[in-house]
Structure 1
Amino acid sequence: MPERNQAALDFLLSRRSRPAKTLSAPAPGRDELATILTAAARTPDHGKLEPWRFIVLERGALDRLAVLAKERGRALGKDDVDTGKAVSQFADSPLAVVVVESPVDSPKIPPLEQTYSAGAVGLSLLNAALAAGWGANWLTGWAAHDRAFVTEGLGLAPHERVTAIVHIGTEGSAPPDRPRPDLERKVTWLSA
């Protein structure tokens, strides 16, 4: 039998994101965040291309992005509700880490596998923050997919895109668990 890491398995079986609106300061400092980012970077990466990168959004950057979200919402004709959600995502967050998909030209590794690796980094980042005892939530929203917002606000190159924005802070209140997938409907067993 393989050696079982029961603590890790228990964490994964009970993990749950914390709603971003329940997160407040303090957030992890740079040293603690470095540990979380190191854990996140230990992710599946076919070809060792590292087709992703991190952008850490501290208070000043979050305030600047909240203003930009309001400007872009108006420019795009978004209603007040959609614009307000994007603004508050940045204005109310104590800290956020953007996972950027940054594909690498490769004759062997298809772009889709690089996208999957960037997604795996997002989930690893979320889980590492939760395992470290912080509240965390993965959000994106329309601003994360608006080319002008990500170019001006985050400095993304034309070939890059936002995979995840993981908000990290101190959890204010624990939410109730939500319904989980019915594995009877989601699993197919093939034995021959």
Structure 2
Amino acid sequence: MSLKNPAALEFLQSRRSRPAKTLIAPAPTREELSPLLRAAARSPDHGKLEPWRFVVLEKGAMPRMSELTRECGVKLDKPPEDIAKARSQFDMGHLAVAVIEVQKPSEKVPAIEQTYSAGAVCLALVNAALAAGWGANWLSGWQVHDRDFCRKALGLQDNERVAGLIHIATEGTAPPERPRPDVATLTEWVSE
């Protein structure tokens, strides 16, 4: 029998990502980040394939990531404002965890379920960081969909892609609440 945890339910019903641009130093240390990674790794994983891994981008890696984003944008002929916006998450970043989806051969677990698992890890990491008192935000960007960028920046193999960049640091300012979905209009009840 499951034990009730009203505090956890209240947290989930009121959780709010913190925009990456509002995050300030300090970021979690390796010791502070480790339990958050362990919590994220408890996400649903059909077949126990572990179809994901983590690449932790510490402050010292951010300038390299920004420059590789610039190079990628120029190669892809992106407008300067798109390049600047994509670079900003690294220019202002203090720590980001790249959640890497790792597609693994499986007769029982379809590729799409492995993708879902990697997405669940991203959300679990954001929630773990928020629950631990950090500010956190799940980002991506056009650059992480470019194979050349992914190989150079993160060492990705052909069976890997970025599920998300989870920025974690201290909350600088609390964002205002935003409108939430009307769950009643999105829910269909089937009784027969």
Q: Structure 2 length as normaliser, TM-score?
A: 0.98
CA offset digits 1:115-168 (Å, max 9, x no partner): 100000000001001111000000001011111111111100011000010000
Query: Over aligned residues, Cα RMSD in angstroms?
Result: 1.0
Q: State the shift of 1:91 in Å.
A: 1.4
Identity rate of aligned residues, in percent?
A: 60
Q: What is the aligned partner in structure 2 of residue 80 from structure 1?
A: 80
Q: What is the aligned partner in structure 2 of residue 16 from structure 1?
A: 16
Q: What is the aligned partner in structure 1 of residue 134 from structure 2?
A: 134
SS at match of 2:123: helix
Q: In structure 2, do the counterparts of structure 1 residues 190 and 144 end up closer, same or farther at CA, with 3 Å as the change threshold? A: same
CA contact (8 A) 2:104 2:159 kept: no
Q: What is the aligned partner in structure 2 of residue 187 from structure 1?
A: 187
Which sections of structure 2, spanning at least 5 residues, go unmatched?
none
The answer to whether the aligner puts 1:111 opposite 2:111 as a matched pair is yes
Q: What is the aligned partner in structure 2 of residue 69 from structure 1?
A: 69
Alignment of 1:118-129 (within 5 A): 118-129=118-129
The one-letter code matched in structure 1 to 2:94 is P
Matches of 1:119 and 1:47, distance apart in 2: 16
SS at match of 1:169: strand
Which sections of structure 1, spanning at least 5 residues, go unmatched?
none
Alignment of 1:17-96 (within 5 A): 17-96=17-96
SS at match of 1:191: coil
Matches of 1:79 and 1:89, distance apart in 2: 17
SS at match of 2:78: coil
SS at match of 2:44: coil
Matches of 2:133 and 2:43, distance apart in 1: 20
Matches of 2:76 and 2:12, distance apart in 1: 39
Q: Structure 1 length as normaliser, TM-score?
A: 0.98
Matches of 1:162 and 1:28, distance apart in 2: 21
Matches of 2:78 and 2:104, distance apart in 1: 34
Matches of 2:2 and 2:148, distance apart in 1: 50
SS at match of 1:3: coil
CA offset digits 1:32-80 (Å, max 9, x no partner): 1001000000010000000000000011211101011111111111111
Q: What is the aligned partner in structure 2 of residue 169 from structure 1?
A: 169
Matches of 2:148 and 2:9, distance apart in 1: 41
- Equivalent pairs counted in the alignment come to 192
Matches of 2:148 and 2:132, distance apart in 1: 34
